[in-house]
Protein backbone atom coordinates (compact mmCIF):
# COMPACT_ATOMS: atom_id res chain seq x y z
CA UNK A 1 0.00 0.00 0.00
CA UNK A 2 2.85 2.31 0.84
CA UNK A 3 4.39 1.70 -2.56
CA UNK A 4 1.10 2.50 -4.33
CA UNK A 5 0.61 5.74 -2.40
CA UNK A 6 4.20 6.79 -2.89
CA UNK A 7 3.84 6.03 -6.60
CA UNK A 8 0.75 8.21 -6.91
CA UNK A 9 1.99 11.06 -4.80
CA UNK A 10 5.58 11.42 -5.78
CA UNK A 11 7.67 13.75 -3.75
CA UNK A 12 9.40 16.79 -5.05
CA UNK A 13 12.76 15.02 -4.69
CA UNK A 14 12.11 12.38 -7.37
CA UNK A 15 10.35 14.48 -10.04
CA UNK A 16 10.83 18.09 -9.13
CA UNK A 17 8.41 20.70 -7.87
CA UNK A 18 6.77 21.43 -11.22
CA UNK A 19 5.91 17.75 -11.76
CA UNK A 20 4.30 17.49 -8.29
CA UNK A 21 2.22 20.59 -8.92
CA UNK A 22 1.17 19.20 -12.30
CA UNK A 23 0.05 15.93 -10.69
CA UNK A 24 -1.97 17.82 -8.07
CA UNK A 25 -3.62 19.97 -10.76
CA UNK A 26 -4.52 16.89 -12.81
CA UNK A 27 -6.06 15.23 -9.74
CA UNK A 28 -8.07 18.39 -8.96
CA UNK A 29 -9.34 18.58 -12.54
CA UNK A 30 -10.34 14.90 -12.46
CA UNK A 31 -12.08 15.40 -9.09
CA UNK A 32 -13.94 18.43 -10.51
CA UNK A 33 -15.07 16.48 -13.57
CA UNK A 34 -16.21 13.53 -11.45
CA UNK A 35 -18.09 15.87 -9.10
CA UNK A 36 -19.80 17.56 -12.04
CA UNK A 37 -20.82 14.18 -13.50
CA UNK A 38 -22.22 12.99 -10.16
CA UNK A 39 -24.21 16.21 -9.78
CA UNK A 40 -25.57 15.81 -13.30
CA UNK A 41 -26.62 12.22 -12.66
CA UNK A 42 -28.28 13.12 -9.35
CA UNK A 43 -30.19 16.11 -10.75
CA UNK A 44 -31.22 14.27 -13.89
CA UNK A 45 -34.00 12.59 -11.89
CA UNK A 46 -35.31 15.94 -10.66
CA UNK A 47 -35.44 17.21 -14.24
CA UNK A 48 -37.66 14.29 -15.23
CA UNK A 49 -39.82 15.03 -12.18
CA UNK A 50 -40.15 18.61 -13.38
CA UNK A 51 -41.36 17.41 -16.78
CA UNK A 52 -43.79 15.03 -15.09
CA UNK A 53 -45.16 17.91 -13.02
CA UNK A 54 -45.55 20.04 -16.16
CA UNK A 55 -47.34 17.17 -17.88
CA UNK A 56 -49.78 16.77 -14.98
CA UNK A 57 -50.46 20.52 -14.96
CA UNK A 58 -51.15 20.55 -18.69
CA UNK A 59 -53.32 17.44 -18.36
CA UNK A 60 -55.32 19.12 -15.60
CA UNK A 61 -55.80 22.26 -17.69
CA UNK A 62 -56.85 20.08 -20.63
CA UNK A 63 -59.48 18.32 -18.50
CA UNK A 64 -60.83 21.67 -17.29
CA UNK A 65 -61.05 22.90 -20.86
CA UNK A 66 -62.87 19.71 -21.83
CA UNK A 67 -65.44 20.37 -19.10
CA UNK A 68 -65.92 23.95 -20.27
CA UNK A 69 -66.25 22.69 -23.83
CA UNK A 70 -68.96 20.22 -22.77
CA UNK A 71 -70.81 23.00 -20.95
CA UNK A 72 -70.62 25.30 -23.96
CA UNK A 73 -71.75 22.52 -26.29
CA UNK A 74 -74.74 21.76 -24.08
CA UNK A 75 -75.69 25.45 -23.95
CA UNK A 76 -75.14 25.75 -27.70
CA UNK A 77 -77.42 22.79 -28.34
CA UNK A 78 -80.09 24.27 -26.07
CA UNK A 79 -79.90 27.58 -27.91
CA UNK A 80 -80.00 25.80 -31.26
CA UNK A 81 -83.23 24.04 -30.26
CA UNK A 82 -84.76 27.30 -29.07
CA UNK A 83 -83.77 28.92 -32.34
CA UNK A 84 -85.46 26.16 -34.31
CA UNK A 85 -88.60 26.58 -32.20
CA UNK A 86 -88.49 30.31 -32.84
CA UNK A 87 -88.04 29.83 -36.57
CA UNK A 88 -90.95 27.43 -36.68
CA UNK A 89 -93.15 30.04 -35.00
CA UNK A 90 -93.72 28.13 -31.75
CA UNK A 91 -91.71 30.53 -29.61
CA UNK A 92 -91.13 34.28 -29.66
CA UNK A 93 -87.73 35.69 -30.45
CA UNK A 94 -87.58 37.60 -27.14
CA UNK A 95 -87.38 34.39 -25.13
CA UNK A 96 -84.34 33.31 -27.16
CA UNK A 97 -82.68 36.66 -26.59
CA UNK A 98 -83.23 36.45 -22.85
CA UNK A 99 -81.71 32.98 -22.54
CA UNK A 100 -78.75 33.74 -24.77
CA UNK A 101 -77.67 36.81 -22.81
CA UNK A 102 -78.04 35.31 -19.34
CA UNK A 103 -75.18 33.23 -17.99
CA UNK A 104 -75.95 30.21 -15.83
CA UNK A 105 -76.54 31.27 -12.26
CA UNK A 106 -73.85 30.02 -9.91
CA UNK A 107 -75.00 27.57 -7.25
CA UNK A 108 -74.10 27.79 -3.58
CA UNK A 109 -71.44 25.09 -3.61
CA UNK A 110 -71.08 25.47 0.17
CA UNK A 111 -74.17 23.29 0.52
CA UNK A 112 -71.88 20.37 -0.30
CA UNK A 113 -70.39 19.02 2.92
CA UNK A 114 -66.66 19.79 3.00
CA UNK A 115 -66.83 22.93 0.85
CA UNK A 116 -66.49 26.25 2.59
CA UNK A 117 -66.20 29.79 1.22
CA UNK A 118 -62.49 29.50 0.42
CA UNK A 119 -62.82 26.18 -1.40
CA UNK A 120 -65.84 27.52 -3.26
CA UNK A 121 -63.69 30.43 -4.42
CA UNK A 122 -60.96 28.00 -5.55
CA UNK A 123 -63.51 26.00 -7.52
CA UNK A 124 -64.92 29.18 -9.08
CA UNK A 125 -61.41 30.17 -10.15
CA UNK A 126 -61.21 26.82 -11.98
CA UNK A 127 -64.51 27.46 -13.76
CA UNK A 128 -66.72 25.32 -11.51
CA UNK A 129 -69.78 27.38 -10.55
CA UNK A 130 -72.73 25.00 -10.57
CA UNK A 131 -73.69 21.70 -8.98
CA UNK A 132 -73.80 20.12 -12.44
CA UNK A 133 -70.23 21.21 -13.20
CA UNK A 134 -69.07 19.91 -9.81
CA UNK A 135 -70.90 16.62 -10.34
CA UNK A 136 -69.13 16.15 -13.70
CA UNK A 137 -65.68 16.97 -12.29
CA UNK A 138 -63.32 14.06 -11.71
CA UNK A 139 -62.08 13.56 -8.17
CA UNK A 140 -58.46 13.74 -9.35
CA UNK A 141 -59.09 17.27 -10.64
CA UNK A 142 -60.64 18.31 -7.32
CA UNK A 143 -57.67 16.82 -5.45
CA UNK A 144 -55.32 18.73 -7.74
CA UNK A 145 -57.16 22.00 -7.02
CA UNK A 146 -56.76 21.39 -3.29
CA UNK A 147 -53.11 20.33 -3.60
CA UNK A 148 -52.20 23.45 -5.54
CA UNK A 149 -54.01 25.65 -3.00
CA UNK A 150 -51.52 24.70 -0.31
CA UNK A 151 -51.25 22.67 2.87
CA UNK A 152 -54.32 24.23 4.48
CA UNK A 153 -56.51 22.60 1.83
CA UNK A 154 -54.71 19.31 1.23
CA UNK A 155 -56.36 17.50 4.14
CA UNK A 156 -59.85 17.86 2.61
CA UNK A 157 -61.31 14.78 0.96
CA UNK A 158 -63.33 15.63 -2.18
CA UNK A 159 -64.30 12.04 -2.98
CA UNK A 160 -67.98 12.62 -2.11
CA UNK A 161 -68.37 16.09 -3.60
CA UNK A 162 -69.45 15.03 -7.12
CA UNK A 163 -72.16 12.71 -5.77
CA UNK A 164 -73.40 15.34 -3.32
CA UNK A 165 -73.45 17.90 -6.13
CA UNK A 166 -75.42 15.53 -8.35
CA UNK A 167 -78.09 15.11 -5.67
CA UNK A 168 -78.21 18.89 -5.21
CA UNK A 169 -78.47 19.48 -8.96
CA UNK A 170 -81.37 17.02 -9.13
CA UNK A 171 -83.10 18.80 -6.24
CA UNK A 172 -82.96 15.76 -3.95
CA UNK A 173 -82.30 17.82 -0.84
CA UNK A 174 -83.72 15.35 1.67
CA UNK A 175 -81.64 12.52 0.27
CA UNK A 176 -78.58 14.78 0.26
CA UNK A 177 -79.16 15.81 3.87
CA UNK A 178 -79.57 12.18 5.00
CA UNK A 179 -76.43 11.15 3.16
CA UNK A 180 -74.42 14.06 4.59
CA UNK A 181 -75.46 13.09 8.13
CA UNK A 182 -73.96 9.64 7.55
CA UNK A 183 -70.63 11.01 6.30
CB 105 within 8 A of CB 132: no
Domain spans in the chain, listed from the N-terminal domain onward: 104-183
The pLDDT of residue 183: 74
The pLDDT of residue 97: 46
The pLDDT of residue 49: 75
The pLDDT of residue 86: 83
CB 164 within 8 A of CB 180: yes
Angstrom distance (rounded) from CA 40 to CA 56: 24
The pLDDT of residue 91: 54
CB 133 within 8 A of CB 67: yes
The pLDDT of residue 93: 46
Question: Of 128, 167, 95, 11, which Cα lies nearest the Cα of 182?
Answer: 167
Averages of pLDDT over runs of 10 residues in the chain (183 residues) are 50 64 92 89 71 86 89 88 81 47 77 94 91 92 90 90 93 90 83
Report yes or no on whether pTM surpasses 0.75. Answer: no
Amino acid sequence: MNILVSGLFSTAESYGKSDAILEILIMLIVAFILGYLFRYLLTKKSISDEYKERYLKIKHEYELLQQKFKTFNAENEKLRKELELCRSGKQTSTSVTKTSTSAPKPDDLKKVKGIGPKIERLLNERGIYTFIQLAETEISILEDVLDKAGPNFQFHNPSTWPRQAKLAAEGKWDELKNWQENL
